[in-house]
Amino acid sequence: MLSNALADYHPLVRLCYFVPVLLFAMLIQQPVILLIMFSSALASALYFGRKKALKLFLLGVVPSALFVCLLNPLFNHAGITILCYLPDGNPFTLESVIYGGAAGCLFAGVLLWCVYLRCTVRTDGILYLFGRIAPQFSLLLSMIFRFLPQFAEQFRQVRAAQYSLGRDITQGSLFRRLKNAVRILSAVIGLSMENAVNTADALKSRGCGLPHRTSFSLYHFERRDGIVLAVTVLCSGVIAAAFFMEQLDFYYFPIMTDLSFEVQMLPVYAAFVVLYGLPLFLQGKEAYTWNVLRSKI
In this model, does residue 239 exceed pLDDT 90?
yes
In this model, does residue 189 exceed pLDDT 80?
yes
pLDDT average, residue stretch 101-128 = 82
Q: What percent of the chain has pLDDT over 90?
A: 13
The C-alpha atoms of residue 275 and residue 289 are separated, in whole angstroms, by 21
β-strands 91-93, 82-85: how paired? Answer: antiparallel
In this model, does residue 280 exceed pLDDT 80?
yes
pTM here? 0.74
Poorest-pLDDT segment among 2-11, 47-56, 57-66: 47-56
Confidence label for 215 from pLDDT (cuts 50, 70 and 90): low
Per the CB < 8 A criterion, the answer to whether 3 and 48 are in contact is yes
Confidence label for 2 from pLDDT (cuts 50, 70 and 90): very low
Q: What is the pLDDT of residue 213?
A: 62
Most confident of 22-26, 38-42, 155-159, 228-232: 228-232
Q: What is the pLDDT of residue 1?
A: 40
Per the CB < 8 A criterion, the answer to whether 72 and 96 are in contact is yes
Q: Which one-letter DSSP state was computed for residue 91?
A: E
Tell me what the pLDDT averaged over the chain comes to: 82
Q: How far is CA 120 from CA 4, 18, 20, 34, 293, in A?
A: 7, 10, 16, 22, 25
The C-alpha atoms of residue 290 and residue 253 are separated, in whole angstroms, by 50
| Nearest Cα to Cα of residue 123 among 107, 136, 138 | 138
The more confident residue out of 132 and 178 is 178
The C-alpha atoms of residue 157 and residue 160 are separated, in whole angstroms, by 5
Question: For residue 180, how many other CB atoms are within 10 A of its CB?
Answer: 21
Confidence label for 68 from pLDDT (cuts 50, 70 and 90): confident
Question: For residue 6, how many other CB atoms are within 10 A of its CB?
Answer: 24
The C-alpha atoms of residue 265 and residue 194 are separated, in whole angstroms, by 56
Tens of pLDDT, residue by residue over 135-180, are 677 677 777 777 777 888 888 888 888 888 888 888 888 888 888 8
In this model, does residue 104 exceed pLDDT 90?
no
